[in-house]
Chain A
Amino acid sequence: MKVIDKIVNWSRLKSPWVLHFNTGACNACDIEIVAALTPRYDLERFGVLLKATPRHADILLCSGPVTRQIEDRLIRIYEQMSEPKFVVAVGTCACSGGVFDGCYNVKGGIDTAIPVSAYIPGCPASPKAIMDGVVKLLQSLEAK
């Protein structure tokens, strides 16, 4: 329970708001991100709220292998976020392009377009892995 106490503390200080953005993914990771918010996993108990606009978001949760169509919009969203901001690559495609690495319309992992703070692999990344990853990110920030 100690870890959770630490996290709840951090959340009380600063409740991280996340923005979820799909860069051309197959939707599997996106669904697992939303599932992480449903009662069984309940990411919200950590104070993590899904927010609609970049200006209010602290964390950008990105899925997908960054298609050529979407790259500019991804960069624009990142630029609209105010500091401090963190990017989490959710899923193997977001980490490295995954199974789509080498496809002509795909750039690759999220870090081909914007800086990434945390990588959560998995195809898809399960809700538990997503929560674990976000919690680890928050822990690493608290340690600073």
Chain B
Amino acid sequence: MSEEENIKQRLADRFSFLADKITIKRARRLFLEVSMDNFSEVFDHAIKSLDFSMLSAISGLDEGDKFGLIYHLASDAGIMLNIKTSIPKDAPILQTVTGYFPSAEMYEREMVDLLGINVKGLPEGNRYPLPDDWPADQYPLRKGWKSDVLDNKENK
């Protein structure tokens, strides 16, 4: 059994709701889908019991009525476990994972600035990456957002 299959098996054994939600896309690439309710325990288990010691990045996506999130975890053996989850767009609240990975701070701030996600528990600090005078309620990475909105506001 390959290492990827081993990880898949162990996850499926531990969490029955993951049964058909884990895909091995290719060597060293696992993807799994989990609801936000179950996210924390899967995330915790991957880090504490499956040796995923690095968070490469967090990707946020505008998926219409929800925001998709992908936590890109990696192990020392070079295997990635990409954990996909989502939150509703009309209540886009996320808990910080900086307790596990301080490096998550910049990735979470990006999602706050560019998608308008509310990340709870982020330490106080500067925003990233938008300028301080960026108009409120303008989230560039949301689908349908156009920068001419920005220029109109500036010309007022």
Contacts and interface: CB of A to CB of B under 8 A. Distances in A.
Q: Determine direct contact between A and B, CB below 8 Å.
A: yes
B65 to A, nearest CB: 24
Contact of B150 (A67, A69, A102, A104): A104
A22 B147 CA distance: 23
B91 to A, nearest CB: 26
B38 to A, nearest CB: 36
B130 to A, nearest CB: 7
B92 interface: no
Chain A interface bracket (under 10, 10 to 19, 20 to 34, 35 or more)? under 10
A128 interface: no
Nearest to B149: A104
A14 interface: no
Contact of B130 (A102, A103, A105): A105
A51 to B, nearest CB: 28
A68 interface: yes
Q: Which 10 A-B pairs have the closest CB atoms?
A: A104-B147, A69-B131, A68-B131, A104-B140, A104-B150, A105-B130, A68-B134, A105-B131, A105-B140, A67-B131
Contacts of A102: 147
Contacts of A69: 131
Interface residues of B, number: 7
Nearest to A102: B147
B4 to A, nearest CB: 36
A102, A104, A105: most-surrounded residue (chain B CB, <10 A): A104
Interface string B119-140: 0000000000011011000001
Nearest to A70: B131
Nearest to B138: A104
B131 to A, nearest CB: 4
Contacts of B140: 104-105
A76 to B, nearest CB: 15
Contacts of A68: 131, 133-134
8 contacts: A67-B131, A68-B131, A68-B133, A68-B134, A69-B131, A103-B147, A104-B147, A105-B140
B19 to A, nearest CB: 42
A61 B140 CA distance: 31
Interface in B41-78: none
Contacts of A104: 140, 147, 150
A121 B147 CA distance: 26
Contacts of B133: 68
Contacts of B131: 67-69, 105
